[in-house]
Amino acid sequence: MSHTTSRLSLSFFAMSLVGCIGAGSVQAQTLQDSLWHGGVAVGGTYASSANIAQTFNLSANAVKASKEDKLGVYTVMNYGSNTANQIKTTTAQLLRLGGRYDYNLSESRFFFGGSELETNKIQNIDSRYSLNAGAGFKLIKSDETSFDLFTGIGYSDTRFGTTIPPSPSSKKGVELLLGEESTHKLSATSSIKQRWSIYPGSADIGTRSTFDIGLATVVANGWTLNASAAVSYTSKPSNNFKRTSSLITFGFGYKY
């Protein structure tokens, strides 16, 4: 969810971390029925006058949980371009794939292992992969609210596109992971989910942080109306890029 400038756009796009929404109702807890639940959304915008601006968005996620463990996978793609005077400029080019496996030690404690792959050309990230593992604690677990704390250690390797010395062409190293996430059932059809993660790294890679929040309301038969926001921060961006970037989206999705 990284972008070089703040954007507000109407688009058919749902964040992968919106939450588990049922067909006609929402739940704060992940269903532990050993079946896959998730959602997918695609869409975009198109505007034509003296200039042509277009965007395309895709988001998908799936979770399979039981009383013993949980597996979650997700993917996000965001592409945008602007054409002026017959010159086409790419304004967004993001692709992210990731997943996490949780193993429950008890009703309130779990181990986890996760990984993520990313490319974000606009932020000069040619490729990034990260691996992490750790433990978490389920602080609140009710029908209306779930709240988890987690911490761990990981490794990341980021390779940049065009670099100007003394900016390095890549950064890699060990990083810590500190985070929290929660889901809140606002009504029978609406829920909000948020996640905040901080990655304090070694001196070379610096500190990263991401915050995602999404509101989803079931319209009918699994179709949802979504609003979401994402903010990312890095203490040592490539080529003196902005440290903070944000994205706000509105759209429609489908949950199963």
The model's confidence at residue 220, banded by pLDDT at 50, 70 and 90, is confident
7 vs 130: which has the higher pLDDT: 130
Instruction: Examine residue 207 and state whether it is found in any structural domain, yes or no.
Output: yes
Instruction: Examine residue 98 and state whether it is found in any structural domain, yes or no.
Output: yes
Domain count across the chain: 1
C-alpha to C-alpha distance for 40 and 16, rounded to whole angstroms: 8
The model's confidence at residue 115, banded by pLDDT at 50, 70 and 90, is very high
Residue 218: its pLDDT value, please?
Answer: 86
The model's confidence at residue 21, banded by pLDDT at 50, 70 and 90, is very low
Instruction: Examine residue 74 and state whether it is found in any structural domain, yes or no.
Output: yes
Instruction: Examine residue 3 and state whether it is found in any structural domain, yes or no.
Output: no
Instruction: Examine residue 105 and state whether it is found in any structural domain, yes or no.
Output: yes
Residue 26: its pLDDT value, please?
Answer: 55
**Both tokens of residue 111?**
């181990």
pLDDT over 50 (residue 16): no
Residue 64: its pLDDT value, please?
Answer: 94
Instruction: Examine residue 1 and state whether it is found in any structural domain, yes or no.
Output: no
Instruction: Examine residue 183 and state whether it is found in any structural domain, yes or no.
Output: yes
- Expressed in angstroms, the distance from the first to the final Cα of the chain is 24
Task: Give the residue carrying structure tokens 């670099």.
Answer: 163
Domain that holds residue 117: 8-255
C-alpha to C-alpha distance for 155 and 5, rounded to whole angstroms: 28
Given a contact cutoff of 8 angstroms between Cβ atoms, the answer to whether 254 and 219 are in contact is no
pLDDT over 60 (residue 152): yes
Q: What is the pLDDT of residues 48-102, one digit of tens each?
A: 888 888 888 777 888 899 999 999 998 888 888 888 888 888 888 888 898 999 9
Q: What is the pLDDT of residues 179-211, one digit of tens each?
A: 999 989 898 888 888 989 999 988 778 898 988
Angle at 24 between CA 23 and CA 29, to 5 degrees: 75
The CATH number given to whatever domain includes residue 208 is 2.40.160.40
